[in-house]
Amino acid sequence: MAKLPSQRVESLGGFVVHGIPFPANTDEESLQFLKKMAPIQIEQEYKIMYLHSYGQDSPWFAGLTNKRLLASRDAKSGYTYANPRGHDVYSGDATNWIDITNVPAKIHAFTVCYFGSEEFLPDCPFVLALIEFEGVNTLLLTRIMGVDPAAPALDWIGMEVQPRFLRNSKLKPTDVYFVPKGSE
């Protein structure tokens, strides 16, 4: 019969905690101190490898990486989604991919964002808009560049815009943004 270890092998595990207060006496009166003790806090690096799949939306992200904007169209009804959809919301039928990179587009509505998530805080304020495409039934939510967020104007609604793509794809929806048509 194998001898079992009497003690677990210990390591620091990537963090060190010093000076946790504890009374020398462990009688009931001395242990009352523990009720007033501040919570112990441990700061340690946490790292995890996360495998994320875009599933049926993968062609849309592949398009962005290759400077193409794709839409999804129901083959029977012709209903077209500006955002990726593998199946039609009404019939459940599989949709087909179409390229809308050069389809005329304009701003349908916009807002100036003065606060955003941690990723967008350095860019505040920025302009977020719903883009309307000719022959497409839904709108695409995206950023507008080349306009001054400090001077928003109602005449931006209806402004013709064109897509631009990040030079180095991050495989995120923010790989595409729009600028006023004719902008360099």
Kindly state the greatest CA–CA separation across the chain: 85
> What is the Cα–Cα distance from 145 to 184, expressed in whole angstroms?
11
28-42, 63-77, 80-94, 141-155: least confident range? 28-42
pTM (2 d.p.): 0.73
Residues 30-71: pLDDT tens digits? 888 888 888 877 777 778 998 888 899 999 999 999 999 999
Which of 12-16, 53-57, 71-75, 120-124 has the highest average model confidence (pLDDT)?
Answer: 71-75
Domain ranges of the chain: 56-180
Mean pLDDT of 101-110: 98
Query: Can you point out the beta strands (E) in 45-103?
Result: 70-74, 80-81, 95-99
Judge contact between 61 and 68, C-beta under 8 A. Answer: no
- Residue 183 has a pLDDT of 84
What are the tokens at 150? 């400090």
| C-alpha span between 119 and 122 (Å, rounded) | 7
Is the separation of the CB atoms in 135 and 166 below 8 Å?
no
Q: Answer yes or no: are the C-beta atoms of 84 and 141 closer than 8 Å.
A: no
